[in-house]
Amino acid sequence: MKYQKIDFVEKELSRIVFGTALEPFLKGENVDELLDGILELGVTTIDTARAYQGSEEVIGNWLDARKCRDQVTILTKCGHPDEAGNIRVNAACMWEDLKISQEKLKTDYFDIYLLHRDDENRPVGELVEAFNEMHEQGLIGAFGGSNWTTARIAEANVYAKQHSLIPYTVTSPNFGLAEQVNDVWSGGCTTISGPDHEADRQWCREQHMPVFAYSSLARGLFAGKIKSSERARMAEILDEVTKFGYDCDANFKRLARVEELSAKKGYSISQIAMAWIFCQPMLDMFAICGSTNVLRMKENLAALEIELTENEVQYLDLRTDQ
């Protein structure tokens, strides 16, 4: 495992982050053995959210049972729309969610705290002020936005600078080799993948902004679950949500090239696709990856050691033909 330090978090973070938007977590099942195995692999950073149903509670139960809070970096999120679709991006909801998450996760602080969505009609200053108050009280470390555009993060950081406050220092958009052609979850989700978002990636580089990339393997499209020749069966092999978000000619051409390089180098599909993420010229790149299989997670960790040439990186992303 490789680790990286980021501002306002005391512990080093594992570059691969364990994502918990998974069925056993959502259903509130006992996942102690799975989390034990993940921690033994050296994956010390865990991604969750108030919106992930039972996830926070089962993680909290595990942290309490194993007494391992000091070994783990917790990233959780607030401000997700409610079941009726009502927008909840405001200071009151941020505080409400924080208190509930503290109870569920059985901890009095979060290493990283993000707004799960944005509301561009909400003045950004209110949100920056709330985050800073939480940080000043020692309740959170780093903070920022999940599914926030780079423009809105920049706006928040201008406000922070003008008012001598701590800025957003973390972003969590969709990012990976696959281009997201439709908003998978709807309701303002963002991506920095694909040719249309080079300016967003460049902004992250220039700002040295840590990127916590979700759906890094395109919900299984680049996890070895489907072959490039099986496009017609995509919804059957994966699901309709993945088909809606990632089904396009370019992504299946990328998948074919991943298969080609996988065979050439002797690595799995997911290892090559994950390695591509870590070969991007971003200083602080973290890939959120979930699995209920510890051995599958161990396989993903090997991607951190795979070196791709610049030409191979460009080839996989269809920027060169050879």
| Tokens describing residue 58 | 């089962």
Digit-coded pLDDT (tens) for 195-228: 999 999 999 999 999 999 999 999 999 999 999 9
- The reported pLDDT for the residue numbered 283 is 75
Digit-coded pLDDT (tens) for 16-32: 999 999 999 999 999 99
Cα separations (Å) of 292 from 32, 121, 135, 143?
11, 38, 33, 28
Cβ-Cβ contacts under 8 Å for 99 (sequence gap 6 or more): none
- The reported pLDDT for the residue numbered 282 is 78
Digit-coded pLDDT (tens) for 221-271: 999 999 999 999 999 999 999 999 999 999 999 999 999 999 999 999 999
What single DSSP character describes residue 314? H
| Tokens describing residue 72 | 């783990």
Q: What is the pTM assigned to this prediction?
A: 0.96
Query: Exposed (0-12), middle (13-18) or buried (19+): which is 250, by Cβ within 10 Å?
Result: middle
**CATH class of domain segment(s) 3-222+277-309:** alpha beta
Residue 188 has pLDDT above 90, yes or no: no
For residue 236, the tally of other CB atoms under 10 A from its CB is: 11
Q: Give dist(CA 226, CA 47) in Å, integer.
A: 26
Domain ranges of the chain: 3-222+277-309
Residue 306 has pLDDT above 90, yes or no: yes
- The reported pLDDT for the residue numbered 185 is 80
Residue 28, sorted as left (phi over 0), alpha (psi -120 to 50) or beta, turns out to be left
What single DSSP character describes residue 166? P
In this structure, are residues 116 and 145 in contact, taking their beta carbons and an 8 Å threshold?
A: no
